[in-house]
């Protein structure tokens, strides 16, 4: 900064009256007053953008902390869900391949061939719960879809609220 009167660049800072009505105000006005230490000319600077940044950074930190638990819970459930899905799928595919190999094997007995065909037909009708059972898992342990949806909507809500808060700060400090 430069003194508009004499061009000097050294100032006495924040002399007596930094003006700040940001506390609770709808439209905040924050000024810092500098006095030229050579000619005494008073300069004031609008510090709104700096204050807005400070508040936004604080908000970002709070938002991150507030959503951390929900996000990690959601990740845990999603990971468990996809882990159980892929295990069940793998077990099902393996069993299908085994039976198909048996069926195409010409050296087995007719009875065995028929049994393999019946088993395969039955396998194709397996519900998800039965596929889980094939690899020693139970539907009881499968993450609840409603719980996942509720966590997701909770995060969405927090996200929206956070964006609103940021817009409010920007509006409040708009010059
Ligand atoms: Zn000056």
pLDDT tens track for 15-55: 556 566 667 767 777 778 888 888 877 877 788 888 899 99
Question: Is pLDDT larger for residue 126 or for residue 37?
Answer: 126
Q: For residues 8-18, give the mean pLDDT.
A: 70
What pLDDT does 21 receive? 67
Q: Which run of H or E residues covers position 171?
A: helix 145-172
* Dist. CA 46 → ligand 1 center (Å): 19
Task: Give me the residues near ligand 1 (ion), CB cutoff below 5 Å.
Answer: 3, 5-6, 8, 36, 38-39, 41
List the chain domain ranges: 11-46, 52-172
* Dist. CA 98 → ligand 1 center (Å): 91
Does residue 162 have a pLDDT over 90?
yes
**DSSP class of residue 44?**
E
Long-range own/partner contacts, residues 77-82 (CB < 8 A, 24 or more apart): 77/143, 77/147, 77/148, 77/151, 78/143, 78/148, 80/141, 80/143, 81/142, 81/143, 81/148
* Dist. CA 27 → ligand 1 center (Å): 31
What pLDDT does 44 receive? 78
Encode pLDDT of 87-124 as tens digits. 999 999 999 999 999 999 999 999 999 999 999 999 99
């Amino acid at each position: 900064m430069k003194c508009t009167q004499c061009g000097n660049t050294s100032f006495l800072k924040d002399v007596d009256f930094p003006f700040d009505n940001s506390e609770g105000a709808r439209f905040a006005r924050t000024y810092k007053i500098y006095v030229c230490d050579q000619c005494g000319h008073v300069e004031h600077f609008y510090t709104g953008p700096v204050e807005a940044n400070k508040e936004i950074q604080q908000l970002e930190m709070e938002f991150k902390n507030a959503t951390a638990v929900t996000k990690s819970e959601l990740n845990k459930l999603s990971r468990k869900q996809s882990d159980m899905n892929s295990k069940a799928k793998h077990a099902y595919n393996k069993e299908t391949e085994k039976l198909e190999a048996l069926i195409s094997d010409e050296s087995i007995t007719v009875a065995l061939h028929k049994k393999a065909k019946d088993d395969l037909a039955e396998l194709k009708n397996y519900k998800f719960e039965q596929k889980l059972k094939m690899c020693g898992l139970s539907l009881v342990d499968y993450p609840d879809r409603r719980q996942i949806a509720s966590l997701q909507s909770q995060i969405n809500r927090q996200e929206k609220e956070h964006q609103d808060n940021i817009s409010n700060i920007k509006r409040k400090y708009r010059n």
